[in-house]
Chains A and B, each alone.
Chain A
């Protein structure tokens, strides 16, 4: 682990990425400590202010401190990103292993399912789900997870197919190893590396999607602060003040940039062959 961090730091972009991601994680986790105000406390007297010593990023139309909202918004972004990708990874691995190792009919039906999911643009799927069950963080997490399952599942399947016919797996089978043992001890560790890199490169996409959906009012419910909902507030006030838009977009852009740089340098470091694939 120490070696990985050291190597990433030697690549300037990787270092920037690492710093940005660390900054984001610390500020999100420490939001209750760092935030000078309650992110949902109204203060109509001080509404629509520009940045000042009291309010570092100004206030929104209800007088809420934007800096505090941005910090707490980071919590939402991180939560959505990690839960979504974790969920998609687990389901993707299971389905991918089944498809790659199981009988042909099962493989075909799982691939059909993957293709079906992939043929619907994520935002459209999300909007359709929101129409039915209403906007909430859970809906966002669930939908984005479902739409990213095929990405992971396909890679797991391909890798499983390749490794399945290797001699060491055949030998293990002859020695009478159980299916579970073959899958978990021999196949999984060989697949996990590229999968984790892919997952880390998906984090910015998920963060941007959450922000996009919250911006449309289809993500987190007010008054919960999210970068997307801050941007939405800013959008409705665009002719009065630019500050909410600036406040909402800076962390969003920095976070996506940070995770992208980090993911790319991680990929180059751990598995340069993937460069062409991803």
Chain B
């Protein structure tokens, strides 16, 4: 955050002047400078800025004079819903797919799933978003194209969520299925699974009750660390579907050169990333007794 602060302030040119554009009068520049506190020495500005962050204050939107925290947190739920439904859907499809691949290793079906998984991983989310918009919203008209749906109307919101979540989630389906396949293969070779087999338990119980419990651990870490990619994908997807959220907010504030809002959104999304990494570590610890005992 301090880094960003310096980035904005050390670049040649007066931020207030850049913000107002070439036709600004000196009075307007002075006014904005004062409102942003730009007329004070840099060190004091930085101290004030960091102090305010600690107090939970991200500054004030220079255009509408609303607090940045209010604006960002107003948009955050949309992005969170999008990310969570995407990852939930991906887990619902990707994990069973990975188990299936692991159980039918080196068969034709496994190879096909493998290739499709790689194709899913590499497809950039905004390209998937554009195609799903083109096919399902514009041509077939199955789903609404833009927005997030009426407030309070759950069904309407859900239908608005389908395509964007699909666009973000599809690469995770591929990723998760490959990950689960690899760790499942490893787990299935271990002694306790052989013991379970010797007891005559059904294949279903062995795979889904015993093996999956261990095989799923890397997934948790990857999802936590992958939050950064999810946020990036959400930014692009929100723009494609004209959906309110952090991404759309940040793009709009960049075009209007609304620095405090840009910085606030970047700060919040970075915080989101850090928090999710921490949570995934904790979840991992609670799932894996080996790590739990080390904590």
Q: Residues on A close to B: CB < 8 A? A: 13, 116, 118-125, 127-133, 204, 208, 211-212, 215-216, 218, 231, 234-235, 238-239, 242, 245, 249, 252-253, 256-257, 260-261, 264, 276
Q: Hey, which chain A residues are within 8 Å of B118, CB to CB?
A: 13, 257, 260-261, 264
Can you pick out 8 interface pairs between chain A and chain B where the beta carbons lie within 8 Å of each other? A127-B251, A128-B263, A208-B124, A215-B126, A215-B236, A216-B236, A216-B239, A256-B122
B198 interface residue, CB < 8 Å from A? no
Q: How far is the CB of B246 from chain A (nearest CB, A)?
A: 9
Binary interface encoding of chain B residues 210-251 relative to chain A, with 1 for a CB under 8 A from any of its CBs, else 0: 000000000000000001110110011001100000000011
Asked if A119 contacts B122 (CB within 8 A), the reply is: no
Partner of A121, one of B130, B139, B231, B240: B231
Is B4 within 8 A of A128, CB to CB?
A: yes
- A129 and B7 CA atoms in complex are apart in Å by 8
Query: In the complex, are the beta carbons of B130 and A231 less than 8 A apart?
Result: yes
B273 and A238: CB pair below 8 A?
A: no
Contact of A234 among B130, B227, B262 (CB under 8 A): B130
Question: A128 and B131: CB pair below 8 A?
Answer: no
- Nearest-neighbour CB distance to chain A for B38, whole angstroms, equals 14
Q: Does B127 contact A (CB under 8 A)?
A: yes
Q: Is B270 an interface residue (CB 8 A)?
A: yes
The answer to whether A123 and B235 touch (CB under 8 A), given A239-B138, A242-B134, A264-B118, is: yes
A121 to B133, CA, bound (A): 25
B295 at the interface (CB under 8 A from A): no
- Contact, CB under 8 Å: B124 / A123: no
- Residues A121 and B228 in contact, CB atoms below 8 Å apart: yes
Interchain CB contact (< 8 A) of B134 among A208, A215, A245, A257:
A245
Q: Smallest Cβ distance from A214 to chain B, in angstroms? A: 11
B122 to A131, Cβ gap below 8 A? no
Q: Which residue of A lies closest to B10 (CB)?
A: A132
Are the CB atoms of A124 and B269 closer together than 8 Å? yes
The 8 Å CB contact of A132, one of B8, B121, B265, B273, is B8
Where chain B touches its partner, the secondary structure class is helix
In this assembly, does B43 line the interface, its C-beta being within 8 Å of a C-beta of chain A? no
The 10 closest A-B pairs by CB, nearest first: A123-B232, A121-B228, A208-B124, A256-B122, A121-B231, A260-B122, A124-B266, A249-B127, A131-B254, A131-B262
A256 touches B124 (CB 8 A): yes
- Alpha-carbon gap, A121 to B94, bound state (A): 24
Chain B residues closer than 8 Å to A13, beta-carbon distance: 115, 118
Q: Does B181 contact A (CB under 8 A)?
A: no
Partner of B262, one of A123, A127, A216: A127
Which partner residue on chain B sits nearest A208 by CB separation?
B124
A252 to B4 Cα, complex, angstroms: 31
CA distance A211 to B227 in the complex (A): 20
Give bound CA distance, A123 to B228, whole Å.
9
In the bound complex, do residue B131 and residue A245 qualify as a contact, i.e. CB atoms below 8 Å apart? yes
Contacts of B123 in A (CB 8 A): 253, 256
What 16 additional pairs, Cβ within 8 angstroms, besides A256-B124, A260-B118?
Answer: A119-B270, A119-B273, A119-B274, A120-B270, A123-B232, A124-B232, A124-B270, A128-B4, A211-B124, A215-B126, A231-B126, A235-B130, A238-B130, A249-B127, A252-B127, A256-B122
Say which residue of B126, B269, B273 sits within 8 Å of A212 (CB atoms).
B126
Q: State whether A121 touches B134 (Cβ < 8 A).
A: no
Do A121 and B7 contact each other (CB < 8 Å), given the known contacts A127-B262, A245-B130, A253-B122? no
- Cα of A208 to Cα of B269 in the assembled complex, Å: 21
* B11→A121 contact, CB < 8 A: no
* Residue interface mask B124-147, A partner, CB < 8 A = 1: 101100110110001100000000
Compute how far the CA of A127 lies from the CA of B265 in the bound complex, rounded to whole angstroms.
Answer: 11
Closest B-chain residue to A133, C-beta based? B11
CB neighbours of A276 from chain B (8 A): 182
Q: Is the CB of A121 within 8 A of B229?
A: yes
For the complex, what is the distance from the CA of A257 to the CA of B138, rounded to whole Å? 27
Asked whether B3 is an interface residue with its Cβ less than 8 Å from the other chain, the reply is: yes
Residue B175 interfacial (CB < 8 Å): no
Determine whether the beta carbon of B127 is less than 8 Å from that of A257: no
Give every chain A residue within 8 A of B269 (Cβ-Cβ). 121, 124
B3 to chain A, nearest CB (A): 7
CB neighbours (8 Å) of B139 from chain A are 242
On whether A132 and B11 interact (CB within 8 A), knowing A211-B124, A218-B254, A235-B240, the answer reads yes
Q: Is B259 an interface position by the 8 A CB rule?
A: yes
The residues of A that contact B122 with a CB separation of less than 8 Å are 204, 208, 253, 256-257, 260
The reply to whether B231 and A127 form a contact with Cβ atoms under 8 Å apart is no
| Chain B residues, CB < 8 A from A124 | 231-232, 235, 250, 265-266, 269-270
Q: How far is the CA of A121 from the CA of B233 in the complex (A)?
A: 10
Interface string of B262-278 (1 = CB under 8 A from A): 11011001100110000
How far is A123 from B227 in the complex, measured between Cα atoms in Å? 12
In the complex, the chain B residue whose C-beta lies closest to that of A242 is B134
Across the interface, do A130 and B254 meet the contact criterion of CB distance under 8 Å? yes
CA distance in complex: A121, B276 (Å): 12
Give the residue name and chain of the A residue nearest to B124 (CB): A208
Residues of B close to A121: CB separation below 8 A: 227-229, 231-232, 269-270, 273
Q: Which residues of B contact A127 (CB under 8 A)?
A: 235, 250-251, 254, 262, 266
